[in-house]
Amino acid sequence: MKSPLMAALVRLAMGATARWVGCGPTLSQRIYFANHTSHLDTLVLWAMLPTSVREHTRPIAARDYWGANALRRWVAQSLFNAVLVERKRICAHDHPVEHMVEALGTTNSIILFPEGERTPGPEVAPFKSGIWHLARQRPDMELVPVYLANLNLILPKGEFLPVPLLCRATFGQPMHIKPNEGKADFLHRTRSSLDQLRQQ
């Protein structure tokens, strides 16, 4: 299997450590949602999961970037088993949320960056509404906040050379969407749970 070896390499090269603060790594179906500052985010979060969990976890990636050429598509789909979604021209028959629901199926988990794009600093930007639509369609999913620290310094947006600092993923407490919870409330609640992990 290439995935355990690659994950071990990532952990060593990135000096990445996981802190399971609010939950342990289990096989229950989850939506891991994290702050997004670097191209390396998916790689690190993916490598932090134990092999058995990782094999059932699919990252969500932007098709306009990861599908732009054959190499990127191969990296995203063959190495990480990523789900490529459209974030520019969204229409009913090619809706990102539909692809996420499909990817979850009955056994899988997904990795999602609800800010929708990379941010420069350690602060968590406002969430796009995709995560709310997804949670409404799959209210049974555990939503697990994951704060990724230091990645904005390792490979910031706009830089092409990484600096080998240590980074850390902190996994928070699983949460669920409440019955009839409004979009604004839900987005605020999920975002602040992620922001609280930053301060821990």
Partner 1 sequence: MNPAISHNLPEDPGLVALVGGVIALLVLATLIGTALRRRVRGEAAVATVANLNARIRAWWVMVGVFLTLLLVGRDGTLVLFGALSFLALREFISLMPTRLADHRALFWVFFVLTPLQYWSIHVAWYGLFIALIPVLAFLVIPSRIVATGDGVDFLSRTANLQWALMVCVYCVSHAPAILMLEIPGFVGQNAKLLFYFVLLVQLSDVLQYVWGKLLGRRAISPTISPNKTWEGFWGGLLCTTGIGAALHWATPFSPGAAALIALAACFFGFLGGLTMSAIKRGFGVKDYGTLIEGHGGVLDRLDSVCFAAPIFFHITRYFYTAIPGL
Q: CB of 19: closest distance to partner 1 in angstroms? A: 11
Give the nearer residue to partner 1 in terms of CB position, either 121 or 182: 121
Minimum CB separation of residue 123 from partner 1 in Å reads 13
Cα distances from 50 to residues 4, 130, 152, 160, 163, in angstroms, run 8, 27, 24, 29, 25
Which CB, 67 or 162, lies closer to partner 1? 162
Residue (25 or 156) nearer to partner 1, CB? 156
Determine the Cα–Cα distance for residues 60 and 111; give it in Å rounded to an integer. Answer: 6
Residues contributing to the site for partner 1 (CB under 8 A): 15, 17, 120-121, 150, 152-153, 156, 159, 161, 163-167
Nearer to partner 1, 158 or 179 (CB): 158
The 3-state DSSP class for residue 129 equals coil
Write out the DSSP string of 139-180. Answer: TTSEEEEEEEESHHHHS-TT--S-----EEEEE---B-PPTT
To partner 1, the closest distance from the beta carbon of 169 in angstroms equals: 14
Q: What is the CA radius of gyration of the chain?
A: 16
Q: Scanning the structure block, which residue is given the tokens 């997904």?
A: 110
Closest CB 133 distance from partner 1, rounded Å:
33
